[in-house]
């Protein structure tokens, strides 16, 4: 919906007595304070605004003289920007200048996205460097040609340089090589960072300063950690961590495979979401040395094509769930898992499971049969499991196999007299899979009885990788 359309719709939602207070019902009659609030609601919640005439806040300045005056003099509208031109750095600098001037003294949030064809000479970062004391969030998605990271790192290592910084993200764009050298994130100038994303093919070393504890850190996403010991040490310095993503690629270097002592166990008391991506072979030592008493969400995704070692991951995942109390509610399994023989053991120890997301149907489907009720309908595994998500392409035979399992669970829940039939929601990533599933005779009966079948929007999924 356009920004203007959003404003008109917001006006129609006002109580009738307010709209009737004057003789004419017009947006022009809205008080300035209310119009400012509506303008703020026009901003995107998914990303920082872009300098585009089709998006707020720029589009709001092109309606009338009054709107332009109000929008231009509202600093909150200009406190965040996404700079993502493909080639022209000059235009980015001009947009940044306008945004910074209009933002007044508000904390700044800046996202710099420089593609592989972007010829960067650090003009953008030089534009925002003088305002580092106002940085609230800084995102950098760039290729090896971009020299902005080194400039930003210098500011981050300066004492009291970025006192307001809460969110810092540095990611290599797809298709580019790694940032030059290794990444040594230094947060000396950020006293209370809450979110840190470091991704790409560069090896990430310990977050400096090494002895500092980041008590405000809530979300940490790391790709290519130096080794397991370094990763665990970083976690110990974030005692209030709630979301953790560890992405590891397969490397032959023994440095990556460095592991702690067998009796060393690290508890992360507040962590509720764990995502493990990349080579599961290299992730096993990490999983074996953590305990997550509050974990509710777990995602396992292997990107390694040759999965000879990946199938041996299941006992380690099972032990982690049991060691953490077995209170897991949402599980996602996808990628080049290989033979998923241990998957059934994972389900048996996750009795509180409410949502299951599954990919790689060729290996996973056969082991999902344990989710069927017993023959006498007296027992069912994961009785609270109410939502199924199926990722990627599933052929017709696999979809019929899924339908068979879910119909049995649906009939069991109705026979047991449950208040809500289960599973109540079944989603496929691909639309054609939704059609095939709905065309099953028994599934169509379940849909008539209340089962929801729909296409899955993965853009907002909790298990989506950000590094």
396-423 pLDDT per residue, tens: 999 999 999 999 999 988 887 666 778 9
3-state DSSP assignment of residue 169: strand
Helices (H), 324-395: 343-348, 361-364
Residue 196 has φ and ψ, to the nearest 5°, of -140, 120
> Is pLDDT of 162 > 50?
yes
Which pLDDT belongs to residue 328?
95
Kindly provide the b/e burial profile for residues 14-52, where b requires at least 16 CB atoms within 10 angstroms of the residue's own CB.
eeeeeeeeeeeeebeebeeeebbebbeebbeeeebbbbe
Q: Return d(Cα 373, Cα 410) in angstroms, integer.
A: 10
- What does the longest C-alpha to C-alpha distance in the chain come to? 78
pLDDT average, residue stretch 76-94: 82
Note the pLDDT of residue 19.
55
- Mean pLDDT, all residues of the chain: 82
Region 382-396: mean pLDDT is 92
**Does residue 91 surpass a pLDDT of 80?**
yes
CB 188 within 8 A of CB 159: yes
Please state the φ and ψ torsions of residue 227, each to the nearest 5 degrees.
-165, 175
Q: Distance (Å, rounded) from C-alpha 112 to C-alpha 124?
A: 8
Q: Higher model confidence: residue 183 or residue 226? A: 226
pLDDT surpasses 80 at 27: no
220-229, 240-249, 390-399, range with the lowest pLDDT: 220-229
Q: Which of 77-86, 294-303, 338-347 has the highest mean pLDDT?
A: 294-303
Note the pLDDT of residue 250: 58
Return the bridge partners of 195, or none. Answer: 167, 219
Torsion of CA 32, 36, 42, 44, to 10 degrees: 170
pLDDT of residue 87: 57
How many CB atoms sit inside 10 A of residue 187's CB? 20
With contact defined as beta carbons under 8 Å apart, do 367 and 334 qualify?
no
| Residues 144, 154: Cα–Cα separation, whole Å | 18
Work out the pLDDT band at 147, boundaries 50, 70, 90: confident
Per-residue pLDDT at 310: 53
Per-residue pLDDT tens digits for 47-60: 899 998 899 999 99
Residue at token pair 């979300």? 219
């Amino acid at each position: 919906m356009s920004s203007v359309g959003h404003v008109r719709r917001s006006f129609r939602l006002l109580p009738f007595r307010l709209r009737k207070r004057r003789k004419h019902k017009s947006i022009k009659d809205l008080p300035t304070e209310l119009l400012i609030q509506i303008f703020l609601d026009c901003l995107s919640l998914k990303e920082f605004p872009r300098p585009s005439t089709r998006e707020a806040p720029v589009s709001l300045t092109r309606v009338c003289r009054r709107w332009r005056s109000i929008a231009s003099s509202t600093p909150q509208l200009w406190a965040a920007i996404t700079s993502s031109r493909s080639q022209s750095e000059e235009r980015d600098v001009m947009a940044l200048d306008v945004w910074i001037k209009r933002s007044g003294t508000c904390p700044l949030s800046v996202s710099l996205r420089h593609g592989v064809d972007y010829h960067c000479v650090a003009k953008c970062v030089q534009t925002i460097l003088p305002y580092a004391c106002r940085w609230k969030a800084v995102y950098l998605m760039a290729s090896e040609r971009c020299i902005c990271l080194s400039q930003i790192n210098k500011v981050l290592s300066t004492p009291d340089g970025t006192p307001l910084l809460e969110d810092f993200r540095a990611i290599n764009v797809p298709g580019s090589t790694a940032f030059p050298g290794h990444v040594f994130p230094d947060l000396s100038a950020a006293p209370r960072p809450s979110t840190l994303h470091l991704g790409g093919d560069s090896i990430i070393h310990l977050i400096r300063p090494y002895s500092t504890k980041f008590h405000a850190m809530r979300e940490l996403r790391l790709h290519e950690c130096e080794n397991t010991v370094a990763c665990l040490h970083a976690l110990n310095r974030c005692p209030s961590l709630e979301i953790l993503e560890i992405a590891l690629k397969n490397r032959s270097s023994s440095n990556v495979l460095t592991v702690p002592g067998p009796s060393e166990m690290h508890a992360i008391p507040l962590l509720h979401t764990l995502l493990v991506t990349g080579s599961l072979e290299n992730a096993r030592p990490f999983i074996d040395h953590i305990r997550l008493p509050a974990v509710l969400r777990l995602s396992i995704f292997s990107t390694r094509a040759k999965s000879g070692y990946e199938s041996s991951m299941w006992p380690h995942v099972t032990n982690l769930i049991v060691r953490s109390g077995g209170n897991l509610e949402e599980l996602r399994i996808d990628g080049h898992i290989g033979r998923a023989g241990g998957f059934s053991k994972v389900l048996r120890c996750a009795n509180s499971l409410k949502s299951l997301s599954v990919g790689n149907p060729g290996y996973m489907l056969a082991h999902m049969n344990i989710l069927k009720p017993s023959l006498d309908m007296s027992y069912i595994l994961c009785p609270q499991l109410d939502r199924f998500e199926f990722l990627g392409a599933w052929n017709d035979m696999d979809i019929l196999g899924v339908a068979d399992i879910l119909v049995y669970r649906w009939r069991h829940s109705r026979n047991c007299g449950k208040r809500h039939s289960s599973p109540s929601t079944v989603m496929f990533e691909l639309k054609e899979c939704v059609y095939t599933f709905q065309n099953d005779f028994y599934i169509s009966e379940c849909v008539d009885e209340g089962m929801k079948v729909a296409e899955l929007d993965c853009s907002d999924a909790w298990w989506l990788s950000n590094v």
